[in-house]
């Protein structure tokens, strides 16, 4: 009895299709890529019922010639590469020739296209991969491809699709990913006949960001600068958020390499590192980072969906991005405004968690786009970076905050503890760098430890010794003979255990631990909230803050100051 058979052609293509198209959003992705590759300047994506009912993409690209149109649906048919060597100089998003045949195998397609050098167009109807109809049509140059009843012949796949709003959310994400990095293309997304995204297509990335993520976030962005030591093989552009905007996840990091949206841990880590102590520990900024790099430096082919990518010189790339981000932040004015739009919650122009069901909601989406805010409004603050606080007058309020004035006549409110922490932290870094000196205690100290504390210390003995604590197991406790010099005279005996616990809880690398050590020491050495300050002390605080390298946040990432702008004050008093 035979039990091994060669699969039928159609079965094979259905299986293969599953790797390229697993949900409506991946169809949208492939079609948008084809439109971009065709040199389009206007791409319209229309979907129905989260993409289940129909997906239609219309572009004004070069079109497909009469002779090529049927070939495009054959497996591994591509106009983009001819031989393997072409991969190293690839200029297009597609090259596998997989998308169209895969989509065709699992849907009903109507394609209409006219090539730029032909006077008429071709319309093709395909069902489950088989051409059912072909005719000449009159139409403008470009391509319209309509995918109906996706997965109609793969019922199991339909079952794995999520709700309409989830599928739409994925489609929106795909459209945003391309709209931001191809700002010269006007993208439109329409769902169930309601417009959802519409970019202006000016070629300016900030415009595209405003159109997709909204002006709320765009106002909080700073344009990336090239680092002081550029690398010959790479350039970097994009926007990163001021530290006042941060999130608990990496979801708001948009990384592109050679205009391809990618997931790259190296780049993500580098962005985070670039913020140094400006952000709290587990917080990530909003960032759109576009890296252009010699194609020979990367490997794009490691994932069929071309999402993950590796660098041959990952370390160089890492340091390059860290440099760019930190240079940018150093030169920026980072004082948060008191009156601020709420950017901590997602303020996308496209906020789809509630679909635009009512007419009213739709209108508001539309009006947002009609505002047509352009990048001009958010022009980079050139020559920023210097902290322009006037030496006088200064006032202390609530025994915790120093009120000052900026050279631009804004009112600046400084958190005295956070500011002192920043100053002391930088002093320690400058003095010790990576070095940890210890100081013997006059009398060895034996703290009372809870079982948990005892366990933590015994697990981390070597770490603690490395950080400057001379500890030794004695009976069922620990005796401490020396502590890091930065704490000497700064903390009470009974605080030593707390400090050790903070250090062992930092699971990062040694340099991260040193940061914790110094920031804890800086905290201990700093004036507290609730303490009165003399005028002289306030002056010194402000003067020293002005010379700090990163004056805007404390070493834990909290702001040291906030600003109430003169304009805002005037508005409130109805003078404007
Ligand atoms: P790939 O993009 O990897 O080449 P596809 O299956 O996505 O493979 O497309 C096959 C070919 O069809 C492309 O190489 C291109 O020549 C042509 N094509 C597809 N979509 C379009 C379009 N929107 N405009 C012009 N040509 C297109
Ligand atoms: Mg393609």
Ligand 1 pocket, mutate which of 57, 94, 117, 142 (most atoms under 8 A from CB): 94
Q: Is the pLDDT at 90 greater than 50, yes or no?
A: yes
pLDDT at 267 (0 to 100): 95
Please work out whether the CB of residue 199 comes within 6 Å of at least one atom of ligand 1. no
Question: Could you say which DSSP state residue 50 is in?
Answer: G
CA distances 239 to 206, 292, 392, 517, Å, are 8, 15, 35, 32
The answer for 506, left when phi > 0, alpha when psi is -120 to 50, beta otherwise, is beta
Q: Whose CA is nearest to atom 14 of ligand 1?
A: 78
Edge-to-edge strands of the sheet including 194-198? Answer: 130-137, 121-127, 108-114, 142-148, 54-59, 42-48, 186-191, 194-198
Q: Is the pLDDT at 108 greater than 90, yes or no?
A: yes
Residues 6+ apart with CB under 8 A from 445: 479, 480, 493, 496
Ligand 1 atom, smallest distance to 59 CA: 23
Average pLDDT over residues 231-247: 88
* Dist CA 41 CA 49 (whole Å): 27
Please work out whether the CB of residue 275 comes within 6 Å of at least one atom of ligand 1. no
* Dist CA 98 CA 91 (whole Å): 17
Q: What percent of the chain has pLDDT over 70?
A: 88
Decide: 210 and 216 in contact? Cβ < 8 Å.
no
CA distances 145 to 43, 54, 103, 354, Å, are 12, 10, 11, 28
Residues 6+ apart with CB under 8 A from 439: 482, 483, 484, 485, 488
DSSP bridge partners of 21: none
Q: Which is more confidently placed, 558 or 545?
A: 545
Rg of the chain's alpha carbons, rounded to an integer?
A: 29
E strand or H helix that includes residue 459: helix 451-459
**Span 37-85, pLDDT tens digits:** 999 999 999 999 999 999 999 999 999 999 999 888 887 778 887 777 7
E strand or H helix that includes residue 572: helix 566-572
Q: Is the pLDDT at 566 greater than 80, yes or no?
A: yes
Ligand 1 atom, smallest distance to 63 CA: 25
Report the Cα–Cα distance between both ends of the chain, in Å, rounded: 90
Ligand located closest to 95 CA = 1
Q: Is the pLDDT at 240 greater than 90, yes or no?
A: yes
Question: Could you say which DSSP state residue 247 is in?
Answer: B
**Span 318-372, pLDDT tens digits:** 999 999 998 899 888 787 777 654 444 444 555 544 343 333 333 333 233 223 2
Please work out whether the CB of residue 243 comes within 6 Å of at least one atom of ligand 1. no
Neighbours of ion ligand 2 (CB under 5 A): 34, 94, 99
- What does pTM read for this prediction? 0.73
Average pLDDT of the chain to the nearest whole number: 85
State the distance from the centre of ligand 2 to the C-alpha of 34, rounded, in angstroms.
5
Average pLDDT over residues 537-557: 89
| Spatial CA neighbour of 457 closest among 441, 480, 435, 437 | 480
CA distances 492 to 281, 424, 514, 525, Å, are 26, 19, 21, 12
Name the 3-class secondary structure at 316. helix
Please work out whether the CB of residue 214 comes within 6 Å of at least one atom of ligand 1. no
Residue 203: pLDDT band (50, 70, 90) is very high
Decide: 194 and 366 in contact? Cβ < 8 Å.
no
State the distance from the centre of ligand 1 to the C-alpha of 30, rounded, in angstroms.
9
| Spatial CA neighbour of 511 closest among 433, 421, 457, 456 | 433
Ligand 1 atom, smallest distance to 62 CA: 25
Average pLDDT over residues 284-296: 93
């Amino acid at each position: 009895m035979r039990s091994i058979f060669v699969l039928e052609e159609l079965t094979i293509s259905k299986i293969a299709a599953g790797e390229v198209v697993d949900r409506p959003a991946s169809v949208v992705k492939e079609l948008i890529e084809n439109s971009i590759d065709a040199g389009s300047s206007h791409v319209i994506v229309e979907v129905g019922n989260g993409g289940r009912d129909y997906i239609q993409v219309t572009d004004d690209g070069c079109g497909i010639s009469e002779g090529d149109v049927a070939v495009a649906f054959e497996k591994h048919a591509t106009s983009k590469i001819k031989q393997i060597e072409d991969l190293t100089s690839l200029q297009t998003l597609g090259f596998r020739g997989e998308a169209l045949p895969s989509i065709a195998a699992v849907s009903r397609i109507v394609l209409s296209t006219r090539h730029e050098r032909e006077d008429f167009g071709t319309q093709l109807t395909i069902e489950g991969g088989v051409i059912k109809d072909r005719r000449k049509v009159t139409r403008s140059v470009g391509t319209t491809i309509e995918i109906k009843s996706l997965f109609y012949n793969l019922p199991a796949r339909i079952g794995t699709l999520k709700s309409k709003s989830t599928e739409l959310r994925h489609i929106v994400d795909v459209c945003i990913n391309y709209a931001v990095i191809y700002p010269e293309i006007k993208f439109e997304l329409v769902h169930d006949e309601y417009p959802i995204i519409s970019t202006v297509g000016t070629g300016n990335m900030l415009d595209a960001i405003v159109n997709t993520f909204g002006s709320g976030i765009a106002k909080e962005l700073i344009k990336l600068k090239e680092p002081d030591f550029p690398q010959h093989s790479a350039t970097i552009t994009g926007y990163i958020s001021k530290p006042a905007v941060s999130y608990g996840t990496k979801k708001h990091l948009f990384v592109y390499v050679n205009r391809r949206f990618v997931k790259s841990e190296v780049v993500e880590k580098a962005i985070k590192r670039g913020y140094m102590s400006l952000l709290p520990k587990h917080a990530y900024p909003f960032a759109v980072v576009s890296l252009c790099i010699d194609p020979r430096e990367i490997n794009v082919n490691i994932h069929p969906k071309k999402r993950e990518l590796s660098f041959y010189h990952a370390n160089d790339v890492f340091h390059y991005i860290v440099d760019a981000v930190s240079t940018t932040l150093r030169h920026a004015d980072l004082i948060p405004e008191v009156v601020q739009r709420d950017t901590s919650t997602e303020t996308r122009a496209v906020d789809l968690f509630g679909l635009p069901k009512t007419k009213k909601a739709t209108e508001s989406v539309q009006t947002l786009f009609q505002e047509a805010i352009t990048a001009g409004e958010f022009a980079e603050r050139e020559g920023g970076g210097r902290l322009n606080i006037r030496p006088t007058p200064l006032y202390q309020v609530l025994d915790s905050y120093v009120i000052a004035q900026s050279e631009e006549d804004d009112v600046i409110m400084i958190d005295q503890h956070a500011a002192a922490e920043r100053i002391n932290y930088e002093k320690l870094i400058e003095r010790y760098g990576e070095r940890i000196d210890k100081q013997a205690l006059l009398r060895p100290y034996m703290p009372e430890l809870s079982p948990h504390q005892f366990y933590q210390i015994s697990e981390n003995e070597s770490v603690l010794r490395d950080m400057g604590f001379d500890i030794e197991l004695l009976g069922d406790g620990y005796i401490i003979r020396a502590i890091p010099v930065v704490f000497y005279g700064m903390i009470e005996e009974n605080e030593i255990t707390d400090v050790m616990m903070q250090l062992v809880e930092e699971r990062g690398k040694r340099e991260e631990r040193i940061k914790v050590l110094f920031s804890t020491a800086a905290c201990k050495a700093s004036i507290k909230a609730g303490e009165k300050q003399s005028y002289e002390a306030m002056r010194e605080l402000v003067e020293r803050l002005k010379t700090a390298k990163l004056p805007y946040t404390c070493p834990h990432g909290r702001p040291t100051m906030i600003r109430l702008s003169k304009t805002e004050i005037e508005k409130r008093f109805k003078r404007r």
